[in-house]
Amino acid sequence: MPSRIETKRVACLWVALLGLMITSAATAVTPEPVDGTAQPAGELMIDNFDPETGKRIIPNERCLTCHGDEEHRTDVRDDGSPVEIFVHSEQIEASVHGSQKCTSCHVTIDRVPHRKAPSVIVGCIECHRETWKEHKDDPDGKHERLEVVNEQIASYMQSVHARPNELDQSRTNATCYDCHAGHNVGELGSIQRAEHRLQNPEICGHCHEKELEDYRTSDHGKAVMEERDSEAAVCSDCHTTHEIASPETDKAKLQITKNCGDCHQEAQRTYFKSYHGQVHRLGYTDAAKCHDCHGGHLVKSEDDPTSEIHASNRLQNCRNCHEDANENFLSFWPHGDAHDRENYPGLWAFRVFMEILVFAVMAFFWVHVLLWLYRELMDRIQGKGFVEDLSQPDVVYFRRFPLVWRWIHFLFAIATMTLILTGTTLLFSHTAWAKAVVEFLGGIRMEGIIHRTAAVIWLGIFFTHLAIATTNIWRKRKTFEWFGSTSLVPNMKDFRDLRDMFKWFLGRGPRPQFSQWTYWQKFDYWAPFWGATVIGLSGLILFMPDKTSLILPGWTFNIANLVHAEEALLAAIFLNSVHFFNVHFRPERFPMSTAIFTGVIPIDEFKHDHRLQYERLLETGELEKHLVHRPSRRLSLAASFITTVLIMAGLTLLTLVLFGLVTLPS
Amino acid sequence: MEKMKNNDTLHKSARHVLLVMLAVLPAAVSAGPSGQAMAFTCAGCHGTDGSSVGPSMPAIAGMDPEVFVDAMKAYRQDERNSSIMNRIAKAYTDEQLKEMGWFFASQRLQLFPQQYDATLAARGAELHEEYCEKCHENGGRPGDAGTLAGQWMPYLHYTMEDFLDGNRKWPRKMKRKVDAAIEEAGDDAIPALVNFYGSQR
């Protein structure tokens, strides 16, 4: 029984308690307004809370109560110092962030009025990355500009601005809103953009004060800051907007020079034609760059007496690099343009002469090559011409070249190829291959050393050959016939042979018969005499410019540079195409002749190619003296190997040169 | 015998119900009293559901919940001048203060008509607009800067005296603004503002 009583009591207690809770809850929810306030019951009297999350919402209007008050643009910090707090609400609304809430960016602001001095902590990067990730596949393309923004973010992160500040490592050197007016970021082409350009120097100048001071006095600075010309160069045009590197680095120097050309295209074109520009375009900052001569932030026209390129300051300017520079330097044309007849007639004339020479020689010999190829192919089809009987190879050979000539040719070929490779990297500095070659060789200075070493060897061989040839002639001076059948001196027969070859090419006559040297062999022999003169002389001027410039006027360097390059180009193309065809690739010889390395040719080939000499030797009974056994298999293989390597190297060079020529920026 | 059996069954079911209740009760206790339940104890001074009827006791119904929590924490840490609030505030955890804050925020503020000087109130309106409105927005209606509109005038007077006497720490920038208002309106400044707020409905 007691338990029963107990149960009743407990139940009563619970019912009473429940009733109490229900009534009090009911009165709490529906109070009776005694004063008739406007708001309906059940709604919060405060409206700045998210009903779902219970988080405070700070509407932009609330922020603008203080920050949009034009009459009170400044406030006082807790320490008493003044602070600009005004923001243009119209600007924000018109900007790309117009629909954002203030607190979307100013995430640390949680109370208004601010309980603590608010710190401006805004992180742009994450939001832009996330938004792009979310919307990059949207079909409406509304967010596509964010792709560029994200590229710029990536560049910025690599820049010097994104590195920790040396004096305060808790912050970066500069961040997004240091440069972008955070509240006034406009769309591409908008008025905010033009305004932003005009403000660019001032913005950068907040930190880079000295640079701004210099810039203000420059032609660029005057145009932007005084004439309000938003098209004139501002900081970011030269330094880039986001990739900014420290000005001491090669990266920055290369960027800046490249960027000068965005506006000064003509000056950059002529600069790249010069040695300074070629070195620069290969990726090296050793040679003079735009700002080295024109002054970086102080750039002014040459008429301005304070300009670094003004006539009275120019020599001092050259001496920044060329310490011993004398008056001769003043006649150098840093932007000498061989296509500008009016301003550089001398240079123009040399270019025209050299180009006519190159085109004439190449045109003539390529026609010669093509016709010859055509004739030999036609003869083969018709079963005519010289065909080596492979089933019965010659055992008797004719000695054409003594050992010394073979060595001289070998070294000459190696030196020439080295010179072509190292020299054309400058000429075709715009190509990726040139940059790779220079890097492979160990940089521009190492390349200079290699080129000069090869040049010394090349000229050394040339003069050695000259000495040996002169000695030989001197020894035989009593019997030597200058225009005889073994002489390399051109004679009338060569011209007749040339004429008859063309007749043969065209099927209008027999193939002419040649003596010891054919006319094309004589051309190959004499061409380097001309080449050695032109390339050698110009090369000597350029060999030690610091020394030669003390004696020679500056413009000789412009001309030397031009003719050195043009003549080298002629040699590179001629040797690796025409010479290769005449000696190796014409069907009678294909794939190669190793005569210059073995020194001998099969007697049948000698009979065919040098019929007159063969008959003359036969008549005088001297033939036996020149006959030798077939070279050993090992010597033949070695000669084939060397010839193959050189031919391949030559063809590679030809390809690189032709590629460089075709892709040469106009 | 059958009846007895029946009674036994009843007793058993009642016991089961009790057992279940006993099992559930500790869980209910550990959840703690609701904000509303805790707010009941405030009614003695601050009126039913925070609508104060006393002239020197501030109305707290409808107030910003974070302002409520700030005030309670300041009392708890003896950072705000008080008579007994510092002792009361110490009894609550942060979580409980938050719940109480939201309870009062959810209430409608019941205003009681006060006697005010219309001339002073008009002057106070000007001063409020010039010096106070940016923080105490909408004429001092409930918000992140507390509730002034319709607040009991004696309470406002005492509070301003506390500020001016150095008994209560000024919120950031408020001293500058009050000083400027006094500079402009002299001794009338505070009464004018108090009358303005008291006149609010």
* DSSP class per residue in A6-74: HHHHHHHHHHHHHHHHHHHHHHHHSPPPSS--SSPTTS-S---B-TTT--B---HHHHHHHHT-TT--E
Report CB contact under 8 Å: B105, A44.
yes
Among B72, B105, B138, the domain-final residue is B105
- Longest CA–CA separation in chain B, Å: 95
ipTM of this complex prediction, to 2 decimal places: 0.81
Tell me phi and psi for residue B143, to 5 degrees. -175, -165
> Which chain A residue is nearest to residue B135, measuring alpha carbons?
A113
Which long-range contacts (C-beta less than 8 Å, at least 24 apart) are formed by A132-137? none
Question: B198 to chain A nearest CA, in Å?
Answer: 14
Q: Does A46 touch chain B (CB under 8 A)?
A: yes
Which pLDDT belongs to residue A18? 52
Question: B138 to chain A nearest CA, in Å?
Answer: 11
Q: Residues B55, B79: one domain?
A: yes
- From chain A, pick out residues whose CB is under 8 angstroms from the CB of B48: 31
Q: Residues B142, B100: one domain?
A: no
Which pLDDT belongs to residue B20? 55
In the block, tokens 């009843």 appear at: B10
Two tokens, residue A286 = 């050793």
Host domain of residue B91? 35-105
Q: Where are the domains of chain A?
A: 48-121, 264-330, 345-382+391-663
The verdict on residue B113 lying in a domain is: no
Instruction: Count other C-beta atoms under 10 Å from residue A73's C-beta.
Output: 13
Which pLDDT belongs to residue B10? 52
Of B40, B64, B107, the CB nearest to A31: B107
Tell whether the model's pLDDT for residue B184 goes beyond 70: yes
What is the rounded CA–CA span in Å between residue B62 and residue A46? 7
Q: Residues B96, B126: one domain?
A: no
Q: Residues B132, B170: one domain?
A: yes
Two tokens, residue A256 = 């800046």
The verdict on residue B144 lying in a domain is: yes
Q: Residues B23, B41: one domain?
A: no
Among B105, B128, B159, the domain-final residue is B105
Instruction: Give the tens place of pLDDT for each residue, B53-93.
Output: 878 899 999 999 999 999 999 999 998 888 899 999 999 99
Which pLDDT belongs to residue A632? 93
What is the rounded CA–CA span in Å between residue A540 and residue A527? 19
- From chain A, pick out residues whose CB is under 8 angstroms from the CB of B110: 31, 33-35
Which pLDDT belongs to residue A7? 52
Q: Residues B165, B195: one domain?
A: yes
What is the rounded CA–CA span in Å between residue B59 and residue B45? 10
Which pLDDT belongs to residue B21? 55
Mean pLDDT by 10 residues, chain A (666 residues): 48 50 41 41 70 86 91 88 90 86 89 86 89 92 90 92 92 88 76 80 92 95 92 90 85 87 93 94 93 91 91 92 92 94 96 97 97 95 81 88 95 97 96 97 96 96 95 91 88 96 95 95 94 93 92 95 96 97 93 95 92 95 93 95 97 98 90
Report the phi/psi class of residue A261: left, alpha or beta, with left for phi > 0 and alpha for psi in -120 to 50.
alpha
Which pLDDT belongs to residue B19? 57
Q: Is B157 annotated as a binding residue?
A: no
Q: Does A34 touch chain B (CB under 8 A)?
A: yes
Instruction: Count other C-beta atoms under 10 Å from residue A488's C-beta.
Output: 12
Confidence band, pLDDT 50/70/90 cuts, at residue B8: low
CB A399 within 8 A of CB A599: yes
Query: Into how many domains does chain B fold?
Result: 3
The verdict on residue B111 lying in a domain is: no
CB A212 within 8 A of CB A204: yes
- CATH number for the domain harbouring residue B65: 1.10.760.10
Best B144, B148, B172, B174 member to test A by mutation, with max A CBs in 10 Å, is B144
Two tokens, residue B97 = 């203060």
Which pLDDT belongs to residue A464? 96
Mean per-residue pLDDT for B2-22?
54
What is the rounded CA–CA span in Å between residue A447 and residue A442? 7
Report CB contact under 8 Å: A28, B49.
yes
Report CA-CA distances (Å) from A514 to A517, A586, A612. 7, 17, 6
Tell whether the model's pLDDT for residue B113 goes beyond 90: no
Chain B residues touching chain A at CB-CB below 8 Å: 7, 11, 14-15, 18, 21, 36, 40, 48-49, 51, 61-66, 70, 102, 105-113, 133-135, 137, 141-145, 171-173, 176, 201
Distance of CA A28 to the CA centre of its chain: 79
The verdict on residue B150 lying in a domain is: yes
> Which chain B residue is nearest to residue A4, measuring alpha carbons?
B11
Question: B141 to chain A nearest CA, in Å?
Answer: 8
Report CB contact under 8 Å: A28, B141.
no
CB A422 within 8 A of CB A653: no
What is the rounded CA–CA span in Å between residue A110 and residue A55? 9
SS3 A446: helix
Q: Residues B20, B43: one domain?
A: no
Q: Residues B24, B49: one domain?
A: no
Tell me phi and psi for residue A143, to 5 degrees. -105, 15
Q: Which residues are CB-contacts of A17 (< 8 A; sequence separation ≥ 6)?
A: none
Report CB contact under 8 Å: B144, A56.
yes
Q: Residues B100, B40: one domain?
A: yes
Which pLDDT belongs to residue A12? 46
Q: Residues B92, B129: one domain?
A: no
Tell me phi and psi for residue A410, to 5 degrees. -60, -50
Q: Does A8 touch chain B (CB under 8 A)?
A: no
> Parallel, antiparallel, or unpaired: how do β-strands A627-629 and A396-399 relate?
antiparallel
Tell me phi and psi for residue A285, to 5 degrees. -105, 15
Report CB contact under 8 Å: A7, B18.
yes
Instruction: Count other C-beta atoms under 10 Å from residue A574's C-beta.
Output: 21
In the block, tokens 């010069």 appear at: A274
Domain A345-382+391-663, CATH among 3.40.190.10, 1.10.630.10, 3.90.1150.10, 1.20.950.20: 1.20.950.20
Which pLDDT belongs to residue B18? 58
The verdict on residue B163 lying in a domain is: yes
Of B18, B51, B172, the CB nearest to A114: B172
Tell me phi and psi for residue A77, to 5 degrees. -75, 170
Q: Is the dihedral of CA A518, A523, A529, A531 positive or negative?
A: negative
Q: Is B153 annotated as a binding residue?
A: no
What is the rounded CA–CA span in Å between residue A138 and residue A250? 40
CB A421 within 8 A of CB A437: yes
The size of chain A, in residues, is 666
User: What pTM does this model have?
Assistant: 0.70
Q: Residues B100, B127: one domain?
A: no
Two tokens, residue B165 = 């006497």
Report CB contact under 8 Å: A46, B173.
no
Q: Is B132 annotated as a binding residue?
A: yes
Element (DSSP H or E) covering residue B157: helix B153-165
